[in-house]
């Protein structure tokens, strides 16, 4: 299937072509026709599968076909998401795909001065991308009205609930019209998400392109069994011994992220931290540095990295193994986007063995151990020599974790819109 088969208008097809894409991803091919038909939709898709374009393209077509002057403070489509970074990325997608359409898009989020955002709202905007807290602030100040919403999108709904936004979502829903089209996207489908969907969606079309909580199929999984005190030295050696592009490292805490960045910088590694205690300016600078450095390292907490969409992330390293298996799936989804291959490496201490086993149960296969540098062998846990291989290098004649789900795409054709 090609984008021409989805009955998108020529300005959108032109924008997609100029972005370098020919074929829609599975979530785009499944969702776009239903959204164009005006149906409510419940979408379950992994990160990096192109779900932003799956709702941005049909929304742009719908609003563009009934173009009228938007009243100051009024919006026609509202996209809610959990983080500032994701909000900015979604706005960027609307600008990219709508470059040949007369549809305007504004973004609002907390942590920055509200005055520029208020000015954009006063000028009028067809599409508003927002985080819940700042949106409620501006609604309370009567700087924006939601009475004219035609399409409501909840993106990363599971993470919004994890972050405690459910009360804010309920307040926002009280301001939007009952007669609207509602699209809910989530990487996982826990009971709370299904209950929310039952309340706000009308006869929704379910679209699921991968099983709930399934890992990205183009990512290989490895584990180093290492005690906590040896993790910093092991990480530095791993970063230095394998050819790689950008690397995303996950820690459990904000303090741990800052501490690890200081250790890496002292060792000569270009690294920056991304977490909730950083100001918006510091977060923007960290992301800019990460994107501009071909072999840069970004150390992040889970919430701060949610919605992060950076090209050429070749490795995701779980410096701290997460106790939540579904969070592991979100983490490794940062690599292997849009069919590219990637490597996920976990540094697992004795205290984290139970967490690792929980992840393996969700994956339905064991994560294979990788080789440790010889100088660290005294502090790492013993691993049978036959099972040990260098960092990120597959074993010959042995099935990798993701091999049964791996699909190779032709190198001559780039597939899907990666946002």
**Domain-wise residue ranges, the chain:** 3-208, 219-401
Hey, what CATH class is 219-401 in? alpha beta
Query: Are 286 and 274 in contact, with CB atoms under 8 Å apart?
Result: yes
Average pLDDT over residues 246-254: 91
Give 60's contacts (C-beta < 8 A, 6+ positions apart). 12, 94, 97, 98, 101, 103
| Domain pair 3-208 / 219-401, same fold | yes
What digits encode the pLDDT tens for the residues 99-135?
999 899 999 999 889 999 999 888 889 999 999 999 9
A 10 A CB-CB count for 118 gives 16
Q: How confident is the model at residue 243 (pLDDT cuts 50, 70, 90)?
A: low
Which range of 40-54, 227-241, 268-282, 301-315 scores highest in mean pLDDT? It is: 227-241
Average pLDDT over residues 227-248: 86
Using CA atoms in the order 290, 89, 9, 15, what is the torsion angle rounded to 10 degrees? -30
Give 273's contacts (C-beta < 8 A, 6+ positions apart). 254, 257, 258, 260, 261, 286, 298, 299, 300
Integer Cα distance of 160 and 196 in angstroms: 12
Q: What is the pTM of this model?
A: 0.63
* Sheet order of strands, 205-208 included: 105-108, 127-130, 77-80, 151-154, 181-186, 41-44, 205-208
Q: 297 forms bridges with which residues in the sheet?
A: 247, 271
Q: According to the model, what pLDDT value does residue 205 have?
A: 97
Using CA atoms in the order 106, 110, 114, 116, what is the torsion angle rounded to 10 degrees? -40
Integer Cα distance of 240 and 151 in angstroms: 48
Integer Cα distance of 207 and 158 in angstroms: 16
Average pLDDT over residues 285-314: 81
In angstroms, the Cα distances linking 228 to 190, 235, 380 are 32, 11, 9
Q: According to the model, what pLDDT value does residue 71 have?
A: 61
By DSSP bridging, strand 41-44 and strand 105-108 are unpaired
String of DSSP letters for 175-235: TS-SSSEEEEEES---HHHHHHHHHH-SSPEEEESS-TTPPPTTEEEEEEEB-GGGHHHHH
Classified as helix, coil or strand, 77 is strand
When the candidates are 3.40.50.300, 2.60.40.420, 3.30.1490.70, 3.30.70.270, the CATH number that belongs to 3-208 is 3.40.50.300
Query: Are 358 and 325 in contact, with CB atoms under 8 Å apart?
Result: yes
Among 90, 98, 133, which Cα is nearest to 307's? 90
pLDDT of residue 393 exceeding 50: no
Query: Are 179 and 209 in contact, with CB atoms under 8 Å apart?
Result: no
């Amino acid at each position: 299937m090609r984008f021409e088969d989805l009955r998108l208008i020529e300005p959108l097809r032109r924008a997609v072509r100029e972005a370098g894409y020919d074929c829609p991803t599975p979530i785009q091919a499944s969702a776009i026709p239903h959204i164009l038909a005006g149906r409510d939709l419940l979408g379950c898709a992994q990160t990096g599968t192109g779900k932003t374009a799956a709702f941005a393209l049909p929304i742009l077509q719908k609003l563009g076909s009934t173009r009228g002057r938007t009243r100051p403070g009024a919006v026609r489509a509202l996209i809610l998401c959990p983080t500032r970074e994701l909000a900015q990325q979604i706005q960027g997608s609307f600008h990219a795909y709508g470059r040949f359409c007369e549809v305007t898009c504004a973004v609002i989020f907390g942590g920055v001065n509200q005055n520029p955002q208020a000015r954009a709202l006063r000028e009028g905007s067809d599409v508003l991308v927002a985080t819940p807290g700042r949106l409620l602030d501006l609604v309370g100040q009567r700087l924006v009205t939601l009475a004219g919403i035609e399409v409501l999108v909840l993106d990363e709904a599971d993470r919004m609930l994890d972050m405690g936004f459910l009360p804010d979502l309920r307040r926002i829903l009280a301001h939007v019209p009952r007669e609207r089209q509602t699209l809910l996207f989530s990487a996982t489908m826990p009971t709370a998400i299904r209950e929310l969907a039952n309340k706000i969606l009308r006869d929704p079309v379910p679209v699921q392109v991968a099983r709930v909580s399934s890992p990205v199929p183009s990512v290989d999984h490895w584990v180093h069994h290492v005690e906590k005190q040896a993790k910093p030295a092991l990480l530095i050696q791993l970063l230095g011994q394998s050819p790689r592009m950008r690397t995303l490292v996950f820690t459990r805490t904000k303090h741990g992220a800052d501490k690890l960045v200081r250790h890496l910088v002292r060792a000569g590694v270009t690294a920056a931290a991304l977490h909730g205690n950083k100001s918006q300016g510091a977060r923007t600078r960290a992301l800019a540095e990460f994107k501009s450095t071909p072999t840069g390292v970004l150390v992040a907490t889970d919430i701060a990295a949610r919605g992060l969409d950076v090209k050429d992330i070749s490795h995701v390293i779980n410096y701290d193994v997460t106790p939540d298996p579904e969070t592991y799936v979100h983490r490794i989804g940062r690599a292997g986007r849009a069919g590219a291959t990637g490597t996920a490496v976990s540094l697992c201490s004795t205290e984290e063995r139970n967490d690792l086993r929980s992840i393996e149960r969700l994956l339905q296969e064991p994560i294979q151990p990788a080789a440790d540098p010889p100088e660290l062998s005294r502090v790492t846990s013993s691993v049978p020599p036959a099972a040990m291989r260098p960092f990120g290098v597959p074993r010959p004649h042995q099935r990798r974790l993701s091999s049964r789900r791996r699909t190779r795409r032709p190198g001559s054709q780039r597939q899907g819109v990666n946002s």
